[in-house]
Amino acid sequence: MNFLLETLQLIVLTIYYHLEFLVQLFVPQRKKDVSGEIVLITGAGCGIGRLMAIEFASLDASLVLWDINVDGLKETARQVKEKGASRVHYYQCDCSDRDVVYRVADQVKSEIGDVTILINNAGIVGGNKFMDTSDAVVEKTLRVNAMSHFWTYKAFLPAMIDKNHGHLVCVASSAGLIGVNGLADYCASKFAAVGFAESMAYELISAGKDGVKTTIVCPYLINTGLFDGCNTKWPRLLPTLEPEYVAKRIVNAILTDQVYLLLPKTLYLLRAIKGLIPFKQSVVLGKYLGAFNFMDAFRGREKKRD
Ligand SMILES: NC(=O)c1ccc[n+]([C@@H]2O[C@H](COP(=O)([O-])OP(=O)(O)OC[C@H]3O[C@@H](n4cnc5c(N)ncnc54)[C@H](O)[C@@H]3O)[C@@H](O)[C@H]2O)c1
């Protein structure tokens, strides 16, 4: 195809997909049936992971819950069963350790079957300025928040590709789109997670595996305790999100094959603005939005997380 023809095709498709996007804003999307699917959630021992498991409880899927914290897993399994789920399995798994991920993944495949919906959700935050952060914490943050995604994909994606069926979910963060003062290692891990998930989505499309869907989730501050003490400066612009709301929105995004989920909606605007304004303006905007002091009141700093 020559330049003119390809450019024309680009313009037509751009208009078509923008119109499709606008229609989707107003017309409720059909939700896919996930009964019989095997859903694996990492970091399911508390917070968003637990709440997503509860959301899946009524959808007749098999649930496989992973966490480093067994007591948390037991409690999640109990709550999920109470909500009506009959097939719930939990495994202790330190997602920061590649060998452990591969070992537990093999166990899941032989005991339960091939995972068809993989939700990479486990996450940690150190919360110190970079020069005050130990090398061990930097490495751990990268391994839990980003590298674990590589290993779970390696373990579970081949079966999805074979059947051209599945769903890969990356629970990242607004800190994976915009850098934050005092969160350098966390932001690096979340940028990595977003870049990996986005690139893999393109890789699957280019391989013709459009039956394997991708959802990338970037929420702002959620009231789970992970960012204990942190507050939002302008709650009307960037509200602190309730965990139940976030879990519902993520599961809805999975059921409707939504690729990007940014919460709250203001983030779509901020992401676009970031690409258009000069750096000095982004400093002014960051200060206005409270991004420069966001971590000042963080109370999790003393907690030993490595
Ligand atoms: N809370 C927020 O404000 C916020 C905002 C944006 C994104 N997120 C992201 O959402 C995800 C869930 O966060 P949350 O708020 O529910 O946090 P949370 O601390 O409540 O839950 C995280 C879970 O991950 C588990 N975990 C930690 N290290 C692990 C490891 N090595 N292996 C296996 N499991 C491990 C923990 O035991 C815990 O159960 C995280 O990826 C987080 O970065 C959170």
Alpha carbons 259 and 169: distance in angstroms, whole number: 9
By the 8 A CB rule, do 123 and 136 touch? Answer: no
At residue 302, the pLDDT reads: 53
User: Which pLDDT band, with edges at 50, 70 and 90, does 11 fall under?
Assistant: very high
Which residues are known to be catalytic? 186
**Is the pLDDT confidence value at 114 over 90?**
yes
**Is the pLDDT confidence value at 303 over 70?**
no
**Is the pLDDT confidence value at 288 over 90?**
yes
For residue 20, report the distance from its CA to the centre of ligand 1, in Å: 34
Q: Is 219 in the pocket of ligand 1 (CB under 6 A)?
A: yes
Alpha carbons 243 and 16: distance in angstroms, whole number: 35
Q: Is 216 in the pocket of ligand 1 (CB under 6 A)?
A: no
Cα distances (angstroms) measured from residue 146 to each of 78, 116, 143, 252 = 29, 20, 6, 23
pLDDT in tens, 154-187: 999 999 999 999 999 999 999 999 999 999 999 9
**Is the pLDDT confidence value at 306 over 50?**
no
The pTM assigned to this predicted structure is: 0.96
pLDDT in tens, 46-70: 999 999 999 999 999 999 999 999 9
At residue 299, the pLDDT reads: 87
Alpha carbons 72 and 43: distance in angstroms, whole number: 9
**Is the pLDDT confidence value at 226 over 70?**
yes
For residue 163, report the distance from its CA to the centre of ligand 1, in Å: 30
